[in-house]
Amino acid sequence: MSGVRGKPPGRIRIIGGSLRNSRLDVPELAGLRPTAERVRETLFNWLAPVIDGARCLDLCAGTGALGIEALSRGAASVQFVEREPRSAQALRDNLARLGLGATGRVAAVDAAAFLAAAPQPQDLVFLDPPFTLGLWSGLARQLEQGGWLAARAWIYVESPRGGVLELPPTWQLHREGHAGEVRFALYRRALPLS
């Protein structure tokens, strides 16, 4: 569920890449917080050197704006995970309308349950769970220990500003920013030398 409140539910815009200015239909659901355009713009500027051809996982996808933005900018594939049925269906509908059915897949399941299944290592993960549920540490641990991250994976984390997160020590902060009451940060996985 993307973090910074941007445009209200209804429609949001893809801001870059091949789908620039495409609109996403967004259901009106309590707690759904699409990531603001300015935050997405900053994030994808950071990711520009590595997004092309990346395998991505959009956990707690909500509107799917982060994952669809990644596909628009050249990601090879995105696995979207969204437990809320109406959000998952809206995401499927948006992917079909935008012609992304072959590269974007939606799992309508809880993120922790999804991560308990057989892993598929990802190059980039968007970790933006609902702020009220406090899921960051548990999901981060599952990602790290469950084999979901490529050796040098990138992990985007969106969380309340001032919150303290317990993230794996192998996740090294690359860049961060703030927008209102939200902190957004990009980490790089760095395994210790053996």
What is the domain-level CATH number for residue 45? 3.40.50.150
**pLDDT band for position 192 (cuts 50, 70, 90):** low
What are the beta bridge partners of residue 11?
A: 25
Let me know if residue 23 belongs to a domain: yes
Let me know if residue 152 belongs to a domain: yes
Strands (E), 10-117: 11-13, 23-25, 55-59, 77-81, 104-107
Locate 57 and state its tokens.
């996982």
Q: What is the pLDDT of residue 4?
A: 39
Let me know if residue 2 belongs to a domain: no
> Angle at which helices 65-72 and 37-47 pack, to 10 degrees?
40
- Does residue 42 carry a pLDDT above 90? yes
Containing domain of residue 131, as a range? 11-189
Predicted TM-score (pTM) of this structure: 0.90
Let me know if residue 3 belongs to a domain: no
Read off the pLDDT of residues 58-78 as tens digits, 9 standing for 90 and up: 999 998 999 999 999 999 999
Locate 82 and state its tokens.
């969204």
Q: If you average pLDDT over residues 71-98, what whole number do you get?
A: 95
Could you tell me if 51 and 43 are in contact, meaning their C-beta atoms sit under 8 angstroms apart? no
Q: What is the pLDDT of residue 6?
A: 42
Mean pLDDT value across the chain: 89
Q: Tell me how many domains the chain contains.
A: 1
Let me know if residue 4 belongs to a domain: no
